[in-house]
Amino acid sequence: MARIHHLNASTLCPTARRLVSGEGSYFERGRMICHCLLVESEDGLVLVDSGFGLRDGQHPEDIAWPLRAILGAAFDPEDTAIGQVRKLGFRPEDVRHIVVTHLDLDHAGGLADFPWATVHLHAAEHQAGLHPGALERARYIQNQWAHGPKWRPYSEEGEPWLGFSALRPLDGLKDIALVPLTGHTRGHSGVLVSGGDRPILHAGDAYFFHGEMETPPRCPAGLAAFQVLAQVDGKTRRANAARLRKLHAEQGEALEIICAHDPWYLDGAIAR
pLDDT digits 0-9 by tens, 54-83 = 999 999 999 988 888 888 998 999 999 999
The per-residue pLDDT for 1 is 62
- pLDDT tens over the chain, length 272 residues: 679 999 999 999 998 999 999 999 999 999 999 999 999 998 889 999 999 999 999 999 999 888 888 889 989 999 999 999 999 999 999 999 999 999 999 999 999 999 999 999 999 999 999 999 999 999 999 999 999 999 999 997 888 999 998 899 999 898 999 999 999 999 999 999 997 789 999 999 999 999 999 999 999 999 999 999 999 999 999 999 999 999 999 998 899 999 999 999 999 987 77
Q: What are the DSSP calls for 74-107, one per residue?
A: ---GGGSHHHHHHHTT--GGGEEEEE-S---HHH
Q: What are the pLDDT digits (tens) for 207-239?
A: 999 999 999 999 999 999 999 999 999 999 999
- The model scores a pTM over 0.85: yes
For residue 43, what pLDDT is reported?
83
Domain positions in the chain are 3-271
The set of residues, in sequence order, having a beta carbon less than 8 Å from that of 69 and lying 6+ positions away, is 15
Q: Tell which residue, 58, 61, 79, 84, has the closest CA to residue 13.
A: 79
C-alpha closest to that of 32 among 245, 244, 229, 266: 266
Whether the bond into 77 is cis, omega within 30 of 0? no
Share of the chain above pLDDT 70, in %: 100
- Residue 69 confidence (pLDDT): 85
Q: How far apart are CA 20 and CA 36, in angstroms?
A: 20
Query: Contact, 156 vs 168, CB < 8 A?
Result: yes
Nearest partner of 199 among 81, 47, 37, judged by Cα: 37
Q: Which CATH class is domain 3-271?
A: alpha beta
